[in-house]
Amino acid sequence: MKGPEFKIRSSGKECVDCRKRFQVGEPFYSLLRLEGERAEREDRCGRCWEAFRAPRECVWWRTRRREDKSGKARLDFESIQALFYQVLEDPRPEVAGLRYVTALLLVRKKKLRLVGTGRGESGEVLRLETPGGEGKLLEVPVPDLDEEALQTLKDQLKEALTLQD
């Protein structure tokens, strides 16, 4: 089955409301609106976020602009991890692919450990463990995505969560 084709823009350099430019080290908030096969990203400074009421159906996380001395774009794993925990318990079908791909990225970077796979209530699941002393067990359903849909979602997530100057 081909999954939704999300078009997620990368992190903004300024607040969508007041147009204040984000400084290195400054925290800001990213919001992802998932509507059917569309995903729209909005970034807000702390002041504008406090005045904004995020809709319940949206996914959001706190992040910050980081200095990258290498000049190369790199994935923002702090944001990927925050996004993963926001969508972990979200039952909406449109977040299934997003949850799965963020889990795979976090396993790859050893932010989560793959314990195994198995059958859950709704089909095949990844069994994951959080690192550290607590070792909390998590189950992530494996969505029915074809290779093309999976690669598209990975590419778009990578583009959306890449730190750039």
Among 141, 162, 56, residue whose Cα is nearest residue 99:
141
Within-domain flag for 15: no
Q: Is the dihedral of CA 75, 76, 81, 87 positive or negative?
A: negative
Tally the domains of the chain: 1
- Domain, as residue range, for 102: 27-163
SS3 55: coil
Question: What pLDDT score does 9 carry?
Answer: 55
Residue 134 neighbours by CB distance under 10 Å = 7
pLDDT (tens digit per residue) in 10-53: 567 889 999 999 888 888 888 887 766 666 788 999 999 999 98
- Is the confidence at residue 2, as pLDDT, over 60? no
Within-domain flag for 60: yes
pTM over 0.85: no
Within-domain flag for 76: yes
Within-domain flag for 1: no
Within-domain flag for 97: yes
